[in-house]
């Protein structure tokens, strides 16, 4: 039996990168999985690649819409009976990321996707976890939520600091309820989001940074721990990356 046998997981941002890698690993470990993302074509391609059969479902979802987040959790609950693990992984960035460049519209989009979506999905799943006195919420944040490096950009950093704070508050609020919350802060990862870096990333640099599977391993680690164990924060970074 796998580490997540008979568990049900919802993973946002599941069309590529960390979300896709986490879905693959969770399926391997016996979980039933629902992946969400904005691009139906990407979700369909992932579903075909992972070959999850009856254990995998997909639902196109804009996490910046509270109603769509509720619909996602409702969909997963109807399909598999409950949601044991929520992985808030959806995120985005843009090339024009300095404060000088950011428009109000771009700021709102970044906060909506990178922060509001985590709150909306958490709020949608929380009550059923409280009713069962059991559940795990994993927030895939970023070291940008620990260190205000301009590389991430003002809106991304602000959203990720907010996401980290959201997770820590909920972890403390629900320490006696059976609901566990873990924030994972990855450093640089070789995912499609690198395509919107202001400066292109070289292949030599890509070779030194995290792979999506590395972060998926960290998500599995915190999700599969016994109910008596909680990991509030976990930082994972490339060996060659500074952490300051």
Q: pLDDT 10s digit of each residue in the chain, 244 long?
A: 899 999 999 999 999 999 999 999 999 999 999 999 999 999 999 999 998 889 999 999 999 999 999 999 999 999 999 999 999 999 999 999 999 999 999 999 999 999 999 999 999 999 999 999 999 999 999 999 999 989 999 999 999 999 999 999 999 999 999 999 999 999 999 998 888 888 888 999 999 999 999 999 999 999 999 999 999 999 999 999 999 7
Give, as one character, the DSSP assignment of residue 210. Answer: B
Catalytic residues: 156
Nearest CA-CA partner of 129 in 174, 164, 173, 163? 174
Domain boundaries, given as residue ranges, for the chain: 8-235
- Contact between residue 35 and residue 46 where contact means Cβ atoms under 8 Å apart: yes
Radius of gyration of the chain (CA): 17
- pTM score: 0.96
The first and second tokens of residue 85, run together, are 């693990």
Nearest CA-CA partner of 139 in 112, 111, 170, 96? 170
- Contact between residue 35 and residue 27 where contact means Cβ atoms under 8 Å apart: no
pLDDT at 200: 86
Give, as one character, the DSSP assignment of residue 33. Answer: E
Beta-carbon count within 10 A of 171 CB: 20
Give CA–CA dist 112/6, Å, rounded. Answer: 32
What's the half-sphere exposure (Cβ side, CA atoms, 13 Å) at 119? 17
pLDDT at 197: 87
Phi, psi of 9 (to 5 degrees): -125, 140
Fold of 8-235: Rossmann fold (3.40.50)
């Amino acid at each position: 039996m796998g580490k997540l046998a008979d568990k049900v997981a919802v993973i946002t941002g599941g069309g590529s990168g960390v979300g896709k890698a986490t879905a693959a690993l969770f399926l391997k470990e016996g979980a039933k999985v629902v992946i969400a993302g904005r691009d139906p074509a990407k979700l369909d391609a992932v579903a075909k690649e992972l070959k999850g059969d009856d254990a995998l479902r997909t639902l196109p979802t804009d996490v910046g819409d509270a109603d769509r987040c509720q619909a996602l959790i409702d969909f997963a609950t109807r399909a598999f009976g409950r949601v044991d693990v929520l992985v808030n992984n959806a995120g985005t960035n843009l090339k024009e990321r300095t404060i000088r460049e950011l428009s109000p519209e771009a700021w709102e989009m970044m906060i909506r996707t990178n922060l509001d979506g985590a709150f909306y999905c958490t709020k949608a799943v929380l009550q059923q976890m409280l009713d069962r006195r059991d559940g795990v919420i994993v927030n895939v944040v970023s070291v940008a939520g620990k260190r205000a490096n301009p590389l991430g950009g003002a809106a991304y950093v602000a959203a990720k600091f907010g996401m980290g704070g959201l997770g820590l508050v909920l972890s403390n609020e629900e320490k006696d309820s059976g609901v566990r919350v873990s924030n994972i802060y990855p450093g640089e990862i070789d995912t499609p989001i690198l395509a919107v870096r202001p400066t292109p990333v070289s292949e030599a640099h890509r070779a030194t940074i995290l792979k999506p599977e590395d972060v998926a391993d960290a998500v599995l680690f915190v999700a599969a721990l016994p109910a008596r164990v909680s990991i509030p924060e976990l930082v994972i970074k490339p060996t060659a990356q500074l952490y300051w």
